[in-house]
Amino acid sequence: MSEPLDIVILGGGTAGWMAATALVSLIPQTSCRVRLIESEEIGIVGVGEATFPEIRNFNDAIGIDEAEMMRATNAAFKLGIQFVDWGFKGSRYIHPFGVHGPVGMDHIFHHRWLRARRLGLKGDIQDYSFAAQAARDCRFELPETRSTRIDSAYTYAYHFDAGLYAVYLRGLAERRGVVRTEGKVKDVIQDPETGDILSLRLESGETISGDLFIDCSGFRSLLLGETLGVGWEDWSKWLPCDRAVAVPSERDELSPYTRSTAMEAGWRWRIPLQHRTGNGYVFSTSFIEEDEAATSLMRSLETKALAEPRMLKFQAGRRVLNWANNCVAIGLAGGFLEPLESTSIYLIQVAIMQLVPLLPGRSIDPRLRDEFNRLIDLQYERIRDFLILHYKLNSRKDAEIWRYCAAMDVPESLTRKIELFRHSAIIERYRDGLFPPTSWLSVFIGQGLMPEGYSPLADTMPGESLVAHMEAFRADISDRVEEMRRHERFIDLYCAAEPAVAPMGTEVRL
């Protein structure tokens, strides 16, 4: 690596600035130089106000101070996602960021719980999740690090203003050496033989050349899709939602969880931040008109709207390759999965963190490219299956979309997981990809799939002791949760944003 690698990032939304900050922070400028082109005229989609706990690894790796970042982005904590009306109308469960049962027992705990239930144990499985109990109670403290403690059994993520997060990262990235160019791309200059991208010509006439181009241009996928012609794999037969309408409203109770409420043609999110509440309705135009959906969203708001609702169009799927020639797509330019499990920023992060160790030299090594694509495909497919699970496992009969989803064929990789859980409560594990068994467990049970059987390994303890044991464990969690601070109070102490009103973006946020 004698001559530094010239990396050009096209697009400055969340994806672009996350990529720029990571590259400039992790790799010295003697090895790679990073330029970012963005236009203030082009709005950003600003994916994900809600995040997944993995974002903390990203922030740690690039040296971000948590409290400072949270103040700058009006962030609040998140212990999980509450699903309302999903399995059936009136149902309610939390997908927690933490195990059910004691740490290190997740292979057997739910089997024991299933047995105890047959023996008369009351309550539901979330009572055994520290994160779920704390979330329900609107409490938050940083997790204990000693794994023997009951309050070490969870992790957390953030609700934040993704636009402000990008602004925050931009500040870091520019201080650390990223060169930002304001402008719009007019032409993409390619090598006539290989098709590799040589440079981008801007409307200003300036030409920016590079060795590696990172396409963060959003849905348009200007480089990977439009220029290199990489095809799109459509997953809308499993994930039929194709629109989101979003609107911010005044601050509401600061619950430390995202709420997802199933609606007549999709679902609605509620994301509490320090200064406002994010709301949106993800829906399918096969089942509802845009206007009707927007009206429905506005009617459902619990606090006063702060702007007009904004509409966003999309399709579930991903590019057949996320890295082709000398171009890597990160973020929406590479694929889209609806924000049901807050995975948009995670997908950006994982692409960056896979790219960094596989970063090519000035000529592209196809072996590195193929490995990157393999890893990204695994991530997409595993998240896809997990999202489909929410739609597939519903017993609502009151709306057409739910009847369609309950009846639809799903990928074989998902069918077999559902069937095995139904029969014996076994959850398949995998090495690469998001969602540990505890996540699958919470959705299976939460959506009403109660297994027919459970492992005989759960039969070793006498029944009475098992039930007593379970009840004691639940009480231990409740006792500890009661000692915790209220989430709002913790934020006041830890990372309260300045009282000045943060700029209200007009962009739609997912």
- Measured in residues, the chain has a length of 510
Residue 19 Cβ vs another protein, minimum distance, rounded to whole Å: 14
Residue 179 near another protein by CB under 8 A: no
Residue 347 Cβ vs another protein, minimum distance, rounded to whole Å: 18
Residue 107 near another protein by CB under 8 A: yes
Residue 372 Cβ vs another protein, minimum distance, rounded to whole Å: 10
Residue 453 near another protein by CB under 8 A: yes
**Identity of residue 392:** K
Residue 350 Cβ vs another protein, minimum distance, rounded to whole Å: 13
Q: How far apart are CA 319 and CA 322, in angstroms?
A: 6
Stretch binding another protein (CB under 8 A), from 240-248, 334-342, 419-427, 441-449: 419-427
Residue 146 near another protein by CB under 8 A: no
Stretch binding another protein (CB under 8 A), from 24-32, 304-312, 320-328, 395-403: 24-32
- Note whether 352 and 19 are within 8 A (CB): yes
Output phi, psi for 168, to 5 deg. -60, -45
Residue 461 Cβ vs another protein, minimum distance, rounded to whole Å: 9
123, 357, 463, 503: residue in contact with another protein (rule CB under 8 A): 357
Residue 368 near another protein by CB under 8 A: yes
What is the CB neighbour count within 10 angstroms for residue 30? 10
Residue 374 Cβ vs another protein, minimum distance, rounded to whole Å: 7
- Note whether 314 and 221 are within 8 A (CB): no
Residue 237 near another protein by CB under 8 A: no
SS3 259: strand
253, 291, 452, 479: residue in contact with another protein (rule CB under 8 A): 452
- Note whether 125 and 110 are within 8 A (CB): yes
DSSP 37: E
SS3 207: strand
361, 411, 436, 448: residue in contact with another protein (rule CB under 8 A): 361
Burial state string for 255-291 with b = 16 or more CB within 10 A and e = fewer than 16: bbbbbbbbbbbbbbbbbbbbbbbbbbbbbbeebbeee
369: left (phi over 0), alpha (psi -120 to 50) or beta: alpha
Q: How far apart are CA 156 and CA 256, in angstroms?
A: 9
**Identity of residue 491:** I
Residue 175 near another protein by CB under 8 A: no
203, 206, 233, 365: residue in contact with another protein (rule CB under 8 A): 365
Host H or E run for residue 166: helix 162-175
Q: Count residues near another protein (CB under 8 A).
A: 43
Residue 181 near another protein by CB under 8 A: no
Residue 187 near another protein by CB under 8 A: no
Residue 363 near another protein by CB under 8 A: no
Residue 105 near another protein by CB under 8 A: no
CA-derived radius of gyration, the chain: 23
- Note whether 353 and 375 are within 8 A (CB): no
- Note whether 148 and 29 are within 8 A (CB): no
Instruction: Give whichever of 42 and 430 is closer to another protein, judged by the CB atom.
Output: 430
Residue 423 near another protein by CB under 8 A: yes
Residue 450 near another protein by CB under 8 A: no
Residue 430 near another protein by CB under 8 A: yes
Binding mask 33-62 for another protein (x = CB under 8 A): ----------------------------x-
Residue 460 near another protein by CB under 8 A: yes
38, two tokens: 């963005």
- Note whether 119 and 467 are within 8 A (CB): yes
Host H or E run for residue 197: strand 197-202
- Note whether 339 and 314 are within 8 A (CB): no
* Catalytic, out of 78, 89, 122, 313: 78
Residue 65 near another protein by CB under 8 A: no
Instruction: Give whichever of 292 and 430 is closer to another protein, judged by the CB atom.
Output: 430
Instruction: Give whichever of 361 and 436 is closer to another protein, judged by the CB atom.
Output: 361
419, two tokens: 């069937």
Say whether 304 is catalytic.
Answer: no
Residue 406 near another protein by CB under 8 A: no
Residue 145 near another protein by CB under 8 A: no
Non-local (6+) Cβ contacts of 75 within 8 A are: 69, 158, 159, 160, 161, 273, 274, 495
Residue 463 near another protein by CB under 8 A: no
| Residue 122 half-sphere exposure toward CB, CA atoms < 13 A | 1
Q: Which residues bind another protein (CB under 8 A)?
A: 1, 26-28, 30-32, 61, 107, 353, 356-359, 361, 365, 367-368, 370-371, 374-375, 416, 419-420, 423-426, 428-431, 451-460
Q: Which residues are catalytic?
A: 78
